[in-house]
Chains A and B, each alone.
Chain A
Amino acid sequence: SVLTQSPSESGTPGQRVAISCSGGTSNIGRNSVNWYQQLPGMAPKLLIYSSYQRPSGVPDRFSGSKSGTSASLAISGLQSEDEADYYCSTWDDSLNGVLFGGGTKLTVL
């Protein structure tokens, strides 16, 4: 993927974990980043939009940040139900289309 995510991350309950998304000047460098959570067998759910904003109903344990050509999703107070796949997305001005990261599988130990 043009957007690079680490394939897996893990943490223990109560811990804080961060999932990174690395891109380039034509995508993250110029556009906002969105983050999705996908539970097994379910459709993705929007967690963060416009790099930092949370839709209503998303707990404030989830937060987004962006710097240069990278973005990050932080999850604090990790819970067992946070075990899921997480994807970043953004627009690419060169490709004129939406990019998704390859996804990060989060395991709660």
Chain B
Amino acid sequence: QVQLVESGGGLVKPGGSLRLSCAASGFTLSDYYMSWIRQAPGKGLEWVSYISGSGRSTYYADSVQGRVTISRDNAKNLLYLELNSLRPEDTAVYYCAKDCGNDWGGFDYWGQGTLVTVSS
């Protein structure tokens, strides 16, 4: 069965960096676009980034453009999100999600999330 397991979250100071990972299993990672979506404590969902199956195409939300890099290693079944110049407003649970293959924004499997806390 499809499984997505995020890791790499934690407490980081403003201006710091963090690299999140998402281990995928139960499907062929290279066949699907993948995304990162975040949710600040008590708030709604916010899309962060998309990456194509090959990794050649990437898309970012304006709120993170220039500070975040999405990448993938299909051979290792891993998805990454590198977060730089972190701000307190980046504090959130970060989910990786598998695109369902039908429409942009349709995510049929989600991980359990990893918490990133940006605080001094």
Contacts and interface: CB of A to CB of B under 8 A. Distances in A.
Interface string A16-54: 000000000000000110101010000111100110010
A57 B24 CA distance: 21
Contact of A100 (B46, B104, B113): B46
A102 B44 CA distance: 6
Interface string B56-68: 0001111000000
A50 B106 contact: yes
Contacts of B45: 36, 38, 44, 87, 89, 100, 103
Contact of B103 (A32, A43, A44, A96): A32
A50 B102 contact: yes
A94 to B, nearest CB: 11
A85 B106 CA distance: 17
B83 to A, nearest CB: 17
B11 interface: no
Nearest to B95: A43
A94 B59 CA distance: 13
A90 interface: yes
Contacts of A96: 59
Contacts of A102: 44
Contact of B62 (A31, A90, A97): A97
Nearest to B49: A97
Contacts of A98: 35, 47, 50, 104-105
A84 interface: no
Given A43-B110, A43-B111, A99 B47 contact: yes
Kindly name the residue among B50, B102, B106 whose own CB sees the greatest number of chain A CB atoms within 10 A: B106
B108 to A, nearest CB: 5
16 contacts: A32-B106, A34-B107, A43-B95, A43-B111, A44-B45, A44-B110, A46-B106, A49-B108, A50-B102, A53-B102, A97-B60, A98-B47, A98-B104, A99-B47, A100-B46, A103-B44
Interface of A: 1, 31-32, 34, 36, 38, 43-46, 49-50, 53, 55, 85, 87, 89-91, 95-103
